[in-house]
Amino acid sequence: MQIFVGLGNPGSKYAANRHNIGFMALDRMAEDHGFGPWKSKFQGKIAEGMLGREKVLLLKPETFMNLSGQSVGEAMRFYKLESADVTVFHDELDLAPAKCRVKMGGGHAGHNGLRSIHAHIGEAYQRVRLGIGHPGRKELVAGYVLHDFTKADQTWLDDLMRGLSDGAPHLAAGDTGKFQNAVALRTAPPRSSTTAKQKPAEPAAPTPDTGEQTDARSPLQRLADKFR
């Protein structure tokens, strides 16, 4: 069994925030892959189901972002799992919007949700970093991540959610390459060729040579010529 954790803040006030992209990813997976109903447990919301042949628990901590580790640690201990059985989906400022990268272990880079998880289960868990872009200046970060995605973001955001859901069974099976390929097929599909050579126009069929010249005069001109 594995635990897929989506990071975010609970409540309708935060539902469409950039910081809640982890919640959004799990909601899409649960819907597309027929997971059971969401239930309250482990200081969060959980849903159980299958991704391919793997049994997976989806967990959305409801402790608020900076206490996410409490929920994750409780669920991990209940199922007697290791940190390596946990995959966390979270927003990533250092990636351009729609970009997705998978990483095992490492630091938390100042992300409060990851910082809390580090404190409760260590750093040896897998992360799926979901790019939301950077506002440009450090002092703008807090307001940026706690602001809703814009209307202009909706197309790439939907493509990213579809890709994450498409690739989820590969991720659960441990094939991160196929997972990222599935995401890329949604977010950056191969372009169809727009430079295909056009079929050359066929030359007009030649007029058969009958040995007679064609009279291009109008009937009125021919009648007038008879009296000249």
With a CB cutoff of 8 Å and minimum separation 6, the contacts of 100 are 128, 129, 130, 131, 160, 163, 164, 180, 183, 187
Is there a catalytic annotation at residue 19?
A: yes
89 CB burial (10 A radius; 0-12, 13-18, 19+): buried
CA-based torsion, 129, 133, 137, 143: positive or negative: negative
Question: How many alpha carbons lie under 13 Å from residue 134 in its C-beta half-sphere?
Answer: 8
- Choosing from 19, 33, 111, 118, the catalytic residue is 19
Which residues are registered as beta bridge partners of 54? 51
For residues 66, 70, 29, 133, the Cα torsion angle rounded to the nearest 10 degrees is 20
- What's the CA gap between 88 and 208, in Å, rounded? 77
Catalytic residue numbers?
Answer: 19
